[in-house]
Amino acid sequence: MPVSSKPCRLSILILLALLWTTTGAAGQSHRLVPLDSYAYDYIDRLQRRGHLLSLHPTALPYTYGEVESALDAVDTKTLTGPSRRWFDALTGEFSRDASRRRTVFGAELQPGARLSTSPRLDPLRPAFDGEATLEAGSISVFPNVSGRLFAEYGPIVAQAGLRFDLFYRDDPDGLAAANRLITRNEDAYAGIDTRFVSAYVGRLSHHWAPRGETGLLISDNPAGYDQLYLRLGSRRFGIRSILGELDSMTGDGRFTGAAGADSVGSSIRRFVSAHRFDWRPSRHVAVSLMESTVYSSATSGLSLKYLNPLALHAFAVDGRPKNDENNGILAGMLWLHAGRWTLQGQLLVDDLDIARTTGEPAAVALSGNVVFAGLERADLGADLTAVATRTYNTHQPEGRYTHLLRGLGAPYTDYAQAGAYSTVYFVPWHLDVAVTPRIDVLFQGAGEIHMPYPDSQDHADTILLGTVAQVIRPALQLRLQHGRTWWLQLDAGPAFIRNERNIRSNDRTVFTMTVALTTRLTAGDSVSH
């Protein structure tokens, strides 16, 4: 007997009405602030000084409306020197006066270029054995341009985004992420955003860590992937959930980025599910418990079990019915702000033999940083990251914690890295200038995420496997910004390398440099409420 569709339609209409009526402050923008926006630099600096703390410091991206509300709450009388300059720049970008007039159409065009002394953009790990498509002498050049068209109506938002980037083709660590015209969809989504519930579907990027710090569980390291993103709760208690589709593996166990076109056999489909539970007992404390699972099989698809943010992976993934292989990870994060001190720490557990039954070394990672912003025009900071040899890897190659060969969390495995820096801020003429002397020390083992997973009886160090490469790099970082029209970042310094590529006595000193220049054009069409 056929079932009437009227009750189903009525339920959908009621749900949409509830979402609409629970929307946040009228007139706010519900677009997501892209992770390449300069605004995050200013927000991070102000958060270190005790402002904008209603924004969760380790859950990026924000919406435009969230930033607008946080700016409204700032007591401008407490802002002096560079802080006032950063605040004014943000209010120009996130204008409440403009948001009260509903923006129904808008566009952004963001051309730029990145230059590097090696095809790899990480100056601590230069790669000199590859060639870039476009070179100027010994400099690799990666031009790029992003274009976005967006529309909003009430709490509903839609955005089309395209990005051309030569690095998609030349990336020495990942698979080519684009085909036609070296262009792919980025930051392209549709969503509905209300005070207590939000849902977005499309190609997005997230970073679950402070701006510029390592995100062990979910980071902006890989190219964006198609996903459903949900947010539930309030600022004090919240749940964020991601269910995303990753690149598939060929039937004979290879990552090609085009497994569906491979004729060897049935492709293995791969998905990632990640949840985080946030508790903020005060504006100065943030506690997050996180979990993630890469699940896969020839018949895997979008799964209600993995979409459910209240189905704890640690208890659910291996229970019957078990229709997929899986690799689960647990993590925790603590963020504290006290006076002018900011501390953040993360611990990730991929595999820990608590009962000592397997004899396998621990697969863990940790990361943290501390910043002192007690000076009006300067910050002092230090950071540390360590990732064990087997972390993010697993017996089943399809369970490796990667997308297009780039890590979903930390970009590398089997390493320990520590750094210290001081940033001084200037505001000459119409420029915002940040100068950062920095020194980093890196110990890189021979293990990497795509090497065959060792059997339990095989000897493998917990961290720093085989011959360890060592890098000491003092550097000078410079950031220049002119209003909202262009910004430039430079990182230059010598790298003193021992045992390069994990080859004993393969030592040398090289000068490494990366430069990124971005310009921006915007246009919008608004109508009154």
Q: Could you read off the pLDDT of 77-110 as tens digits, one per residue?
A: 889 889 999 999 999 888 765 445 566 789 999 9
Q: Could you read off the pLDDT of 207-217 as tens digits, one per residue?
A: 999 999 999 99
Q: How far is 297 from 293, CA to CA, in rounded Å?
A: 13
The pLDDT score that the predictor gives to residue 492 is 98
Q: How many alpha carbons lie under 13 Å from residue 344 in its C-beta half-sphere? A: 28
* % of the chain exceeding 90 in pLDDT: 69
Residue 253 scores a pLDDT above 60: yes
CA 122-257-36 angle, to 5 degrees, is 40
Residue 13 scores a pLDDT above 70: no
Q: How many alpha carbons lie under 13 Å from residue 170 in its C-beta half-sphere? A: 25
State both tokens at 2.
């056929």
The pLDDT score that the predictor gives to residue 95 is 73
Q: How many other β-carbons are positioned within 10 Å of the β-carbon of residue 66?
A: 23
Q: How far is 383 from 496, CA to CA, in rounded Å?
A: 20
Under DSSP, the state recorded for 74 is: -
CA 410-433-206 angle, to 5 degrees, is 25
Residue 17 scores a pLDDT above 80: no
The pLDDT score that the predictor gives to residue 498 is 97
Mean of the per-residue pLDDT values of the chain: 89
6 band by pLDDT with thresholds 50, 70 and 90:
low
The pLDDT score that the predictor gives to residue 23 is 46
Beta bridge partners of 384: 368, 418
Beta bridge partners of 526: 103
Are 360 and 353 contacting, i.e. CB atoms less than 8 angstroms apart? yes
Q: Span 325-342, mean pLDDT? A: 95
Residue 387 scores a pLDDT above 70: yes
Q: Could you read off the pLDDT of 479-508 as tens digits, one per residue?
A: 999 988 999 999 999 999 999 999 999 999
Q: Could you read off the pLDDT of 102-135 as tens digits, one per residue?
A: 667 899 999 999 999 999 999 999 987 778 899 9
Q: Span 136-161, mean pLDDT? A: 94
Q: Report which of 161, 62, 154, 32 is spatially closest to residue 103, judged by C-alpha positions.
A: 154
Are 168 and 177 contacting, i.e. CB atoms less than 8 angstroms apart? yes
Q: How far is 66 from 16, CA to CA, in rounded Å?
A: 21
Q: Could you read off the pLDDT of 414-427 as tens digits, one per residue?
A: 999 999 999 999 98
Are 204 and 229 contacting, i.e. CB atoms less than 8 angstroms apart? yes
Q: Could you read off the pLDDT of 189-206 as tens digits, one per residue?
A: 999 999 999 999 999 999
Task: Please provide residue 400's backbone torsions phi and psi, each rounded to the nearest 5 degrees.
Answer: -65, 145
Least confident of 81-90, 195-204, 250-259, 362-371: 250-259
Q: How many alpha carbons lie under 13 Å from residue 55 in its C-beta half-sphere? A: 33
Q: Position of tokens 């904008």?
A: 52
Residue 249 scores a pLDDT above 80: yes
Full-model pTM? 0.92
* DSSP-assigned states of every residue in 112-177: EEEEESSSSS-TTS---S---SSEETTEEEEEEEEEEEEEEETTEEEEEEEEEETHHHH-SSS---
The pLDDT score that the predictor gives to residue 284 is 97
Q: Span 144-170, mean pLDDT? A: 95
The pLDDT score that the predictor gives to residue 7 is 47
Residue 263 scores a pLDDT above 90: no
